[in-house]
């Protein structure tokens, strides 16, 4: 079979990209800053991470950093191992996963990440207006759709809320399955749009979503939203965090924090921040944020113990 030169070149570049992404990272090299990411699409995430890493590294020469590398993990467990072994120095994560990495791998919060101008969000629990459900206390014997286990606003936080209301959670085989009359059944819908559709089509009784996604017509179509009613709302929690491994050199940690804080006001960083999951700036972790994270950390542990 004859293969065109263009196609052959594309294949070769793809293989080379795979080699670069999979290149080993030596633990403990004091001159290399390693940025990590949990990813199911390494190539796409590499392209999102690399511009910011390229911005940061030259500004850390005064603490001995001369090179930056990216290391992908397939899941939370692998990232935890990388952090414990010193193979990753810095990782960007949702706040719930950040708290999991703090508990499992000793990672420490460095900065709050503001994305698309929003530093935090709330969880909303919603039902159909004609469902007869008026509050969380009405949910026993009914079903709720979460997004996936990595979602802060559409899994961890609403699961916390239900447990705080003394409502036991029971996993369902499918949206058609039903829980016992004392429990709230749950299923994973994988996307915000699916959650909205399942509630609207009466496949499940309730859905969970962030207030930011609630206002996004791509996730909650206006024709659906007019039929919905919110019956529960959480406090605000950070959208995302920059975390560092617990034993990262104090000088490197302090300089990384300084560079990232300054990036939000630097025109040279604008495009790199945009690529970095549409980040607008990094912010210090103030007392209110710290309190929210401590509460979230406790909730993550409870969900892991009582639900998972």
In this structure, what token pair is assigned to residue 27? 């633990």
Closest CA relative to residue 41, chosen from 70, 68, 72, 13: 72
The separation between the first and the last C-alpha atoms of the chain, rounded to the nearest angstrom, is 51
The CA-atom distances, in angstroms, between 288 and each of 10, 47, 100, 117 are: 50, 33, 20, 18
- CA 219 from centroid of its chain's CA atoms: 17
* Separation of alpha carbons 195 and 256, rounded Å: 38
Give me the tens of pLDDT residue by residue for the chain, a chain 308 residues long: 344 444 444 444 343 333 334 344 456 688 999 999 999 899 999 999 999 999 999 999 999 999 999 999 999 999 999 999 999 999 999 999 999 999 999 999 999 999 999 999 999 999 999 999 999 999 999 999 999 999 999 999 999 999 999 999 999 999 999 999 999 999 999 999 999 999 999 999 999 999 999 999 999 999 999 999 999 999 999 999 999 999 999 999 999 999 999 999 999 999 999 999 999 999 999 999 999 999 999 999 999 999 99
Q: What is the DSSP string of 251-279?
A: HHHHHHHHHHHHHTT-GGGHHHHHHTTTE
* Separation of alpha carbons 31 and 28, rounded Å: 9
* Separation of alpha carbons 75 and 180, rounded Å: 32
pLDDT of residue 27: 61
Confidence (pTM): 0.87
Closest CA relative to residue 234, chosen from 169, 297, 152, 167: 152
Closest CA relative to residue 260, chosen from 60, 87, 120: 60
Q: What is the DSSP string of 164-191?
A: HTT--EEE-SSTT----TTSEEEEE-SS
* Separation of alpha carbons 294 and 306, rounded Å: 18
In this structure, what token pair is assigned to residue 145? 């759709």
């Amino acid at each position: 079979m004859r293969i065109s030169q263009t196609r052959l070149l594309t294949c070769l570049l793809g293989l080379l990209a795979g080699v670069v992404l999979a290149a080993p990272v030596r633990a403990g090299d004091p001159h290399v800053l390693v940025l990590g990411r949990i990813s199911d699409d390494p190539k796409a995430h590499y392209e999102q991470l690399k511009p910011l890493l390229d911005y940061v590294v030259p500004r850390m020469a005064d603490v001995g950093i001369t090179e930056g590398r990216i290391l992908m993990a397939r899941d939370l467990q692998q990232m935890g191992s990388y952090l414990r072994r010193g193979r990753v120095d810095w990782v960007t994560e949702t706040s719930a996963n950040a708290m999991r990495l703090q508990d499992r791998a000793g990672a420490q919060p460095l900065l709050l990440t503001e994305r698309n101008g929003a530093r935090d969000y709330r969880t909303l629990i919603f039902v159909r207006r004609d469902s007869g459900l008026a509050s969380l206390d009405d949910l026993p014997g009914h079903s709720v759709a979460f997004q996936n286990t990595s979602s802060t606003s559409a899994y961890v936080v609403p699961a916390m809320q239900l447990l705080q209301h003394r409502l036991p959670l029971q996993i369902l085989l499918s949206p058609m399955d039903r829980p016992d009359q004392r429990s709230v059944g749950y299923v994973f819908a994988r996307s915000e749009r699916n959650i909205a559709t399942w509630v609207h089509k009466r496949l499940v009784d309730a859905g969970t979503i962030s207030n930011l996604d609630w206002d996004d017509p791509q996730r909650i179509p206006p024709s659906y939203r007019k039929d919905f009613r919110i019956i529960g709302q959480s406090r605000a929690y950070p959208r995302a965090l920059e975390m560092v491994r617990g034993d990262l050199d104090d000088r490197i940690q302090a300089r990384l924090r300084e560079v990232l804080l300054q990036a939000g006001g630097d025109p040279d960083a604008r495009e790199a921040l945009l690529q970095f999951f549409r980040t607008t700036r990094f912010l210090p972790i103030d007392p209110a944020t710290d309190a929210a994270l401590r509460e979230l950390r406790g909730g993550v542990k409870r969900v892991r113990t009582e639900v998972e």
